[in-house]
Amino acid sequence: MRDAARNAPVGDASYGEDPTVTALEAEAASLLGFDAAMFCPSGTMANQIAAFTHTDPGQEVVVEEHSHIYGHELAGLARHSALQVRPIDGSPRGVLTPEAITAAIRSRGSNQVETGLVTFENTHNRYGGTAIKPRAIEEAAHAAHEADLPVHLDGARLANAAVAHGITLDQMTTHVDSVMLSLSKGLGAPIGSVLAGSDRFIEQARRARKFFGGGWRQAGIIAAPARIALETIDRLEIDHANAQRLAAGLESLPGIEVNRPETNIVMLDTQGIDRTAHQFLERCGAHGIKGSHFGQYRVRFVTHVDIDSTDITEAIDGLKTICTDLRTTD
C-alpha cells in the first residue's frame, strides 16, 4: 500500500482530474452494485453526507437504537442536517423488522413531523459484528419503500458480512438506495470510505461533500492504497477464523462470557470475574492486548489485517494468565 501511494498518478480531484480517485470510485461503484460512488475521508462523513442528501431539514430519521449513526457520530444528524432521530430497538441482532419500521413511520399530515429516511447497519458493531442476511435487509427496506422512503445502509463492515455469507458485496446492497463502506478498518487502507448510490444521488452527494469540507485535491496517493483494500476483501476470512479461535480460547476461561463471533468482532462480558471492562482492559494492556470498552462490563476485541494467528495464540495465553491472576488475588 505504501508503494502504491508513492507511485500513484494524481491530479486535482475537485475537477474530476485525479485518475486514481476516479478509478477507485468506478471500482467501488461496480463492486457495490451501484451507478456511482464517491471517495470520502471517513465513514462518519459519508454517513452524514448520505443523510444530508436523502432528507430535508426538520425531518425524522428511523435508526436502530445501538447504531453508529445514532450513538457515535456526535449528533451529526441534528447538527449538520437539522434532523431528529427516531431510535428503534433492533435486538437481538441489530436489524429492524419490517413491522417495527412500518410502526415507526409517521403518517403524513400538517401536524406531524415527517419521516425522511430509514438507516441500517451491517455488520452491526454493537451487537458484536452480526452479519445480517440480505433477506432481512430486503424485507426491512421493502417496508420503507412502501412508504416512499429512501434507505441508507451503514456498511462500514459490509465486506465482513458478505464474506461471512459467502456472497458478493453487490448481493448485499440490492434493496438499499445508498451504502457506505469503510476501507480503513478491516480492509486496512490508511484512510477513507466510499459512498455509493445512483448517479443523481452521488452528484448531489458531491456537492454535500464540498459543503462538509471533504473535497479532495491530489488524493490519488490516498486512493491508491484504498484500491488495494478493495481487491483484498477475501482476506477477511482470515480475520473471521482468528476471531473464532480467540472466542474459543476465551470460552474455556471461567467467569468470562463470550459471544460466538460471526465476523471479526469478539464481545465478552466481565461480570462473572467481578471486574469492570475498564479494570479488565487495564490488565490486558499490560500483556500487550488491546481492546475497547463497550459498556460497564463489555469488552470488544477486533481482528484485522495486522493480527496473525501467532498473535491470537499469544493473546489467548495472555488472557489465560490474566484470569488466573485475578482468581488468585481475589
Ligand X SMILES: *Cc1c(COP(=O)(O)O)cnc(C)c1O
CA separation for the pair 74, 29 (Å, rounded): 28
**Rounded to the nearest whole angstrom, what is the least distance from the CB of residue 66 to ligand X in the complex?**
10
Verify binding: residue 44, ligand X, rule CB under 6 A.
yes
Verify binding: residue 48, ligand X, rule CB under 6 A.
no
For residues 181-240, which are near ligand X according to CB under 6 A? 182, 184, 193
Closer residue to ligand X in complex, CB, 157/227: 157
| 3-class secondary structure, 211 | helix
Verify binding: residue 55, ligand X, rule CB under 6 A.
no
**Rounded to the nearest whole angstrom, what is the least distance from the CB of residue 322 to ligand X in the complex?**
26
Going from the C-alpha of 210 to that of each of 53, 202, 217, the distances in angstroms are 12, 12, 11
| CA nearest neighbour of 121 among 146, 149, 88 | 88
Going from the C-alpha of 193 to that of each of 10, 47, 213, 236, 320, the distances in angstroms are 18, 10, 15, 17, 37
x/- letters, 147..186, toward ligand X (CB under 6 A):
-------x-x-------------------------x-x--
Give me the residue whose beta carbon is nearest to ligand X. 43
CB distance 38 to 205 below 8 Å: yes
Closer residue to ligand X in complex, CB, 70/322: 70
Closer residue to ligand X in complex, CB, 66/275: 66
The grid coordinates of residue 59 equal 425531518
Verify binding: residue 42, ligand X, rule CB under 6 A.
yes
Identify the bridge partners of residue 124 per DSSP, sorted by sequence position: 130
Task: Using CB under 6 A, count the residues that bind ligand X.
Answer: 12
Closer residue to ligand X in complex, CB, 42/271: 42
Start-to-end CA distance of the chain, whole Å, equals 48
**Rounded to the nearest whole angstrom, what is the least distance from the CB of residue 157 to ligand X in the complex?**
6
Stretch that binds ligand X, among 36-44, 145-153, 280-288, 312-320 (CB under 6 A): 36-44
Strand order of the β-sheet with 257-258 is: 257-258, 265-269, 298-302, 292-293
Stretch that binds ligand X, among 19-27, 37-45, 230-238, 263-271 (CB under 6 A): 37-45
121, 177, 239, 262: which one contacts ligand X (CB under 6 A)? 121
Closer residue to ligand X in complex, CB, 77/326: 77
- Surface-to-core class of residue 157, CB atoms within 10 Å of its CB (0-12 exposed, 13-18 middle, 19+ buried): buried
Beta pairing class for 298-302 and 292-293: antiparallel
54, 68, 175, 206: which one contacts ligand X (CB under 6 A)? 68
CA separation for the pair 44, 40 (Å, rounded): 9
What is the contact surface with ligand X in residues (CB under 6 A)?
Answer: 42-44, 47, 68, 121, 125, 154, 156, 182, 184, 193
